[in-house]
Amino acid sequence: MSLRAFLEDCARRGEVLEIGELLSTRYEIASVIKALDGGPLLVFKRVEGHPSFKVVSNICNRPRLMRALGAEHVEEAYRKLIEASERPSEPKVSSSGLAAEEHVMEKPDLGKLPVLLHYEGDAGPYITSAVISARSPDGNIENVSVHRLLVVGRDKLVIRLVPRHLYKLWRMAADEGRDLGVAISIGVHPAVMLASTTPVPFGVSEFHVANTLLGGRLKLFECSETGARAPAEAEVVIEGFIKARELAPEGPLVDITGTHDAIRQQPVIEVRRIMWREGAYYHAILPAGVEHKLLMGFPREAEIWRAVSKVVPRVVAVNLSVGGCGWLHAIIAVEKNVDGDAKNAIMAAFSAHPSLKHVVVVDPDIDIYNPADVEWAIATRFQASEDLIIVPNARGSSLDPSADQETGLTTKVGIDATIPLGRDKRAFERAKVPLTARAEAVIRRLLGRG
């Protein structure tokens, strides 16, 4: 249940592209990841100035994510994720035997890690795949979440803390005048990563969700300096404390929208120890790349799927589309019973994912992963005077530059692009050309598949 085992499986299937040329963490690796975005899993074997590490990226595209969850199709993956968030289970914990402890840097130097500088205008090198865990001062509540980390010194990071669960734990510790101990894990199994971005209530540990997802096979260890926990098979673990009072400028960084996010005063992490496995794989996620969108958006797709399933007979699939930043736009294919079902689906989707801005609901014959097909449904099945919902001044995403930057308010739009039930269905159906076996053979040859 390690990243390494998952990578080996991908290599056996011929999905791994190894890059043997020497490349720099300064823009060079990011530019290669960007050029091959969404394609093969990439392993950079020679990283300039970092001989002990390999950089791995694009671990997850949709098919690999399905495999990481042991799911045959997307509905099964949603179901597994929802079940895991409803039935979290306690992982095994050990105090030693950690793979990551093969190398320990007692006097930490973050400069030794191959942290990438991604985009022109970024504030500096950013760790983008950090799974961060912390516990409440009484030890009873654990939270695990993913945050971007700006490297600002040998032993200093600045963390972007949106006011959610880790922020709450940080405030709880700060109220007692204490710094918050954290374990920062880099290079974990995709299921652990996904569990960490799955919305569960405060008090539920995302490690417990990950353990259920992995069939009870997640192993954790307790870090000696901080008491925070990390997956025993993580490639790299950084131990540190989020300072109770020290803030520093964080940003700009290109986030999921592909635009530069604002500079904000954010908490500083003081790093105490850095550990890594022999031949460690450092996981780099390109901001605004397909992997970033998928890991952040997929658990939200599951939430939307669940919520919309309660109001319409069947939800075939949900796509937080790449063009919609994997976060702001949802395309939902539903089977409806009565007119009005699609509008209820729109409202359910907005409530399931508060950052959602635009929703398009289509019939099951539309390929929701193909933007041209979705546009065709809007062109031929949608009348704005009947099928449009506009909700002004709702809460949106802080990542959307067009939202009000002071209040965070945005306007939400829902588009019902399903065929109206009262009309003759044939008028809306895509025309087909009959296909004979002989013609099909020719087509296969011309397309290079036969």
> Which residues are at the interface with Mn ion (CB under 5 A)?
143, 165
Give Cβ neighbours of residue 224 (< 8 Å, ≥ 6 apart).
Answer: 239, 273
Q: What's the CA gap between 318 and 316, in Å, rounded?
A: 7
- Catalytic-role residue among 255, 341, 400, 416: 255
Nearest to Mn ion of 143, 226 (CB atom) = 143
Smallest distance, Mn ion to C-beta of residue 198, A: 9
> What is the nearest approach in angstroms of Mn ion to the Cβ of residue 6?
24
Order of strands across the sheet with 92-94? 92-94, 219-222, 229-231
For Mn ion, give the closer residue by CB, 86 or 440: 86
Distance (Å, whole) CA 218 – CA 1: 7
C-beta of residue 396 within 8 angstroms of C-beta of residue 355: yes
Class of residue 336 by CB neighbours under 10 A (exposed 0-12, middle 13-18, buried 19+): buried
Place of tokens 């006011």: 163
Q: Which is nearer to Mn ion, 133 or 143 (CB)?
A: 143
- Amino acid found at 434: P
CB of 164 to Mn ion, least distance (A): 7
Closer residue to Mn ion in complex, CB, 54/165: 165
Q: Which is nearer to Mn ion, 197 or 257 (CB)?
A: 197
Q: How far is the CB of 193 from Mn ion (least distance, A)?
A: 14
Distance CA 190, CA 74 (A): 16
Nearer to Mn ion, 135 or 357 (CB): 135
CB 114 within 8 A of CB 78: no
Least gap, CB of 134 to Mn ion (angstroms) = 10
Compute the least distance from the CB of residue 272 to Mn ion, in Å.
24
The side-by-side arrangement of strands in the sheet containing 388-395 is 314-320, 329-335, 358-362, 409-416, 388-395
| Of residues 207 and 221, the one with the C-beta less far from Mn ion | 207
Q: Does the active-site annotation cover 255?
A: yes
E strands, 99-141, are 103-105, 126-127, 131-135
| Structure tokens given for 353 | 């994912």
Give 135 or 165: the residue with its C-beta nearer to Mn ion.
165
- Determine phi and psi for 422, rounding to 5 degrees: -70, -15
- Phi and psi at 145, nearest 5°, equal -155, 165
Phi and psi, residue 97, nearest 5°: 75, 20
Would you give the DSSP letter of residue 47?
B
What are phi and psi for residue 210, nearest 5 degrees? -60, -40
* Least Å from the CB of residue 203 to Mn ion: 8
Nearest-CB residue to Mn ion? 165
Query: Which residues have CB under 8 Å from 291's CB, separation 6+?
Result: 38, 57, 58, 59, 60, 61, 285
**Residue in the structure block whose two tokens are 């990243």:** 3
* Number of neighbours of residue 216 by Cβ within 10 angstroms: 12
Minimum distance of Mn ion from residue 358's CB (angstroms): 27
User: What residues are annotated to the active site?
Assistant: 255
